[in-house]
C-alpha cells in the first residue's frame, strides 16, 4: 500500500502547568494519578508543606487538568484556592501526561475512582477496581526504575497484594513497594483536615529493605508538618480495613440518631435535645449526632456496602447484615422525609411546585454524589410534583447529570418539563406549595422568610431536612413547618401514619 500521500501521525498534545522557574532543582519528586476530590487537595497540601518536593498531579481527563490550571478549580473546597495559588507552577504541577508523571517521580499515589460495582459478581456492593487495575498496569508498563506506589483510593482489604502481583509482572525486573495511606478527609473541611490531621495512617509490610525504606520515605513526607505521634504505621491489611471501618462507624452514628428522630416525632421528644443529652456523655461524645434527611457523599454508603460484601464473601453473614442495616436506615430516612411532604400537602403533590433548597450532599462542597436531594426529588417526582432546585455551588449541568445517573425521572417525564433551576432561593420559592431544605448552607438560615411566605401558595409549608431553621419563628410568620425529629407541644399526633406538623 502506498504511503506517499499519508499524513504523518500527530503527536498527542498534553496539558501541563508551566513552571515559574524551569531551572529549579528538587530534593524529591512524587506524583498522583487522579485529580479528583482526594488527589487534588492532598497533593496541594503536600506541595505547600514540602517546598523542596516536586508534586505532579496527573489525570487522563484533559478538561479536568485544564480546570486545575485555571482560576475556576474543578471542585469547591474552602481554602483550596489559596493553597493552589501559592504552589502551582512552583512545586505543584497538573498534567494530562500520565506517563511522564510516572517517569519523573519516585513515589506514585494512586487516587483513582473506585465506585460501587454496577455489573457482574458483587454488583451493588463490591468496589469496582477497574480504574485501579488500569493504573497499576500502566505504572508497570512505563516505569523506568523501582517505584513506591501508594494506595490513596479506598480499596478492599488485601488489594495491595493484588497490586503487587500486577506491578511485579513486568518483564524488566523492576521492583515496587506498595503502601496503604488512606485519606480521612471530610468535604467542606478538607484543607483544615489536611493541615491538622487527627492522624496519618501508613500501612506497609516489612518483608524487604525496599518496603521498610518506602515506609520511612512516606513518613518523611508527612513529618514536614504532622507531629510524629500522629503518624501511625501499621501492616498493610490493618490500614486498608481501618478506612472502611472509620466510615462505617461514622455513618452508623448518623443512622442511629436518625432512627431516634423518627421515634421523637411520635412521642413528643425533640431529637436535638436527646442528642445534646447523650452527647454530653464523654463515652459517646457529641460528633455526628445531628439528625437529618440522611447522609450522602462518595464514601459512607460505598464503603459500608464494600464492607458488607467482604463480610458476605468471608461467610460472616450476621456481620454483613448488621452493617447493611446502616444503609437501609439511611434509605428509610430519605423516603420518610418525602412521605411527610406528600401527606402534609393533603396526600397529593401532583402538579404542585416544590422548592428544593440545596443539592450538594453537605454544605461547603459542590459534590453531589449520593446526595439525599436526588433521592428525595426522585420520590417527589413519582408523585408527579414539579421541582425548582437551587444550590449555590452545584452547576446546572451536574444536577441534570445526576437526575440521569440516579434515574430520578419517572418514565415519560422529561427534565425540562418537571425541573427548573432558578439562580436564587427566592425565585425557587415563588409560587411553590412547599420548601424543602436539604443542604445546610449557611445562606439558607439568613433568608427573608417573610418575603418567601408572601411569594408562596397558601397554606405554605417548610420542611427542614437539616434542622437549621428557627421553626417557631417560621410558624409565627404563618408557615406550616416540619423538622426532622422536632415536634412541638400541642401538635404531636401519635397516629402511626400521620406526619407531625407544628
The per-residue pLDDT for 106 is 97
Contact 429, 449 (CB under 8 A): no
Which of 258, 402, 249 has the alpha carbon at shortest distance from 334? Answer: 258
Largest interatomic CA distance in the chain: 90
The per-residue pLDDT for 277 is 97
Burial of 145 (0-12, 13-18, 19+ CB in 10 A): exposed
Q: What secondary structure, in 3-state letters, does 357-425 show?
A: ECCCCCCCCCCCCCCHHHHHHHHHHHCCCEEEEECCCCCHHHHHHHHHHCCCCCCCCCHHHHEECCCCH
Which of 23, 22, 90 has the alpha carbon at shortest distance from 56? Answer: 90
State which residues of the chain have pLDDT below 70.
1-11, 156-158, 488-502
CA distances from 47 to 9, 83, 97, 109, 496 (A): 37, 9, 19, 14, 56
Helix (H/G/I), strand (E/B), else coil: 214: helix
Q: Note the residue count of the chain.
A: 502
The span from the CA of 88 to the CA of 83, in Å, is 8
Write down the pTM of the prediction. 0.87
Contact 293, 376 (CB under 8 A): yes
Which of 377, 303, 372, 383 has the alpha carbon at shortest distance from 347? Answer: 383
Q: For residue 53, what are the β-bridge partners?
A: 28
- Residue located via cell numbers 412521605: 339
What is the dihedral sign for C-alpha 95, 96, 102, 104? negative
Q: How many CB atoms sit inside 10 A of residue 325's CB? A: 16
In the numeric block, which cell numbers belong to residue 310? 467482604
Contact 296, 251 (CB under 8 A): no
Q: Is 205 left (phi over 0), alpha (psi -120 to 50) or beta?
A: beta
In 3-state terms the chain splits into helix, strand, coil percentages (rounded to 5) of 40, 15, 45
- Who's near 401: CB < 8 A, 6+ residues apart? none
Is residue 29 among the annotated active site residues? no
- Whether omega for the bond prior to residue 459 falls within 30 degrees of 0, making it cis, is yes
Which of 451, 458, 463 has the alpha carbon at shortest distance from 357? Answer: 463
CA distances from 131 to 65, 88, 231, 276, 370 (A): 18, 27, 28, 43, 20
What is the dihedral sign for C-alpha 317, 322, 325, 326? negative
The per-residue pLDDT for 269 is 93
Among residues 50, 87, 264, 299, which one is catalytic? Answer: 299
The span from the CA of 24 to the CA of 13, in Å, is 24
Q: For residue 480, what are the β-bridge partners?
A: 461
Q: What is the pLDDT of residues 328-367, one digit of tens each?
A: 999 999 999 999 999 999 999 999 999 999 999 999 999 9
The per-residue pLDDT for 133 is 86
In the numeric block, which cell numbers belong to residue 343? 401527606
In the numeric block, which cell numbers belong to residue 230? 500522629
- Who's near 68: CB < 8 A, 6+ residues apart? 17, 35, 40, 57, 74, 84, 94
Q: Which DSSP symbol is given to 496?
A: S
Q: How many CB atoms sit inside 10 A of residue 380's CB? A: 24
Which of 425, 344, 434 has the alpha carbon at shortest distance from 386? Answer: 434
Amino acid at each position: 500500500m502506498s504511503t506517499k500521500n499519508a499524513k504523518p501521525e500527530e503527536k498527542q498534545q498534553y496539558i501541563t502547568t508551566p513552571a515559574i522557574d524551569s531551572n529549579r532543582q528538587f530534593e524529591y519528586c512524587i506524583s498522583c494519578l487522579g485529580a479528583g476530590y482526594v488527589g487534588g487537595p492532598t497533593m496541594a497540601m503536600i506541595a505547600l508543606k514540602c517546598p523542596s518536593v516536586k508534586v505532579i498531579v496527573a489525570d487522563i481527563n484533559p478538561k479536568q487538568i485544564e480546570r486545575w490550571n485555571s482560576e475556576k478549580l474543578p471542585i469547591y473546597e474552602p481554602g483550596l484556592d489559596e493553597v493552589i495559588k501559592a504552589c502551582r507552577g512552583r512545586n505543584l504541577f497538573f498534567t494530562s501526561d500520565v506517563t511522564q508523571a510516572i517517569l519523573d517521580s519516585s513515589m506514585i499515589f494512586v487516587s483513582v475512582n473506585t465506585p460501587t460495582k454496577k455489573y457482574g459478581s458483587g454488583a451493588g456492593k463490591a468496589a469496582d477496581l477497574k480504574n485501579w487495575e488500569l493504573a497499576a498496569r500502566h505504572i508497570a508498563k512505563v516505569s523506568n526504575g523501582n517505584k513506591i506506589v501508594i494506595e490513596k483510593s479506598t480499596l478492599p482489604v488485601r488489594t495491595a497484594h493484588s497490586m503487587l502481583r500486577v506491578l511485579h509482572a513486568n518483564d524488566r525486573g523492576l521492583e515496587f513497594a506498595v503502601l496503604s495511606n488512606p485519606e480521612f478527609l471530610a468535604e467542606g473541611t478538607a484543607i483544615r483536615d489536611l493541615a491538622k490531621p487527627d492522624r496519618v495512617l501508613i500501612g506497609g509490610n516489612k518483608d524487604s529493605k525496599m518496603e521498610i525504606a518506602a515506609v520511612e520515605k512516606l513518613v518523611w513526607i508527612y513529618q514536614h508538618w504532622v507531629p510524629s505521634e500522629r503518624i501511625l504505621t501499621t501492616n498493610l491489611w490493618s490500614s486498608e480495613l481501618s478506612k472502611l471501618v472509620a466510615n462505617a462507624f461514622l455513618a452508623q452514628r448518623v443512622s442511629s440518631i436518625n432512627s431516634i428522630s423518627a421515634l421523637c416525632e411520635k412521642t413528643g421528644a425533640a431529637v436535638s435535645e436527646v442528642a445534646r443529652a447523650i452527647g454530653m456523655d464523654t463515652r459517646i461524645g457529641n460528633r455526628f449526632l445531628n439528625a437529618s434527611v440522611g447522609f450522602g457523599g462518595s464514601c459512607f454508603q460505598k464503603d459500608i456496602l464494600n464492607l458488607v460484601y467482604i463480610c458476605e464473601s468471608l461467610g460472616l453473614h450476621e456481620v454483613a447484615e448488621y452493617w447493611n442495616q446502616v444503609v437501609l436506615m439511611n434509605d428509610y430516612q430519605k423516603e420518610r422525609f418525602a412521605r411527610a411532604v406528600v401527606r402534609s400537602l393533603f396526600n397529593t403533590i401532583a402538579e404542585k411546585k416544590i422548592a428544593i433548597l440545596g443539592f450538594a450532599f453537605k454544605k461547603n462542597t459542590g459534590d453531589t454524589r449520593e446526595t439525599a436531594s436526588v433521592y428525595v426529588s426522585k420520590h417527589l417526582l413519582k408523585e408527579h410534583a414539579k421541582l425548582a432546585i437551587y444550590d449555590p455551588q452545584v452547576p446546572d449541568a451536574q444536577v441534570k447529570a445526576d437526575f440521569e445517573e440516579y434515574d430520578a425521572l419517572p418514565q415519560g417525564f422529561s427534565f425540562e418539563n418537571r425541573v427548573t433551576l432558578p439562580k436564587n432561593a427566592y425565585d425557587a420559592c415563588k409560587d411553590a406549595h412547599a420548601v424543602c431544605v436539604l443542604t445546610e448552607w449557611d445562606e439558607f438560615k439568613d433568608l427573608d422568610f417573610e418575603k418567601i411566605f408572601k411569594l408562596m401558595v397558601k397554606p405554605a409549608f417548610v420542611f427542614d431536612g437539616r434542622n437549621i431553621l428557627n421553626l417557631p419563628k417560621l410558624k409565627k410568620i404563618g408557615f406550616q413547618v416540619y423538622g426532622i425529629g422536632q415536634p412541638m407541644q400541642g401538635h404531636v399526633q401519635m397516629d402511626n401514619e400521620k406526619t407531625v406538623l407544628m
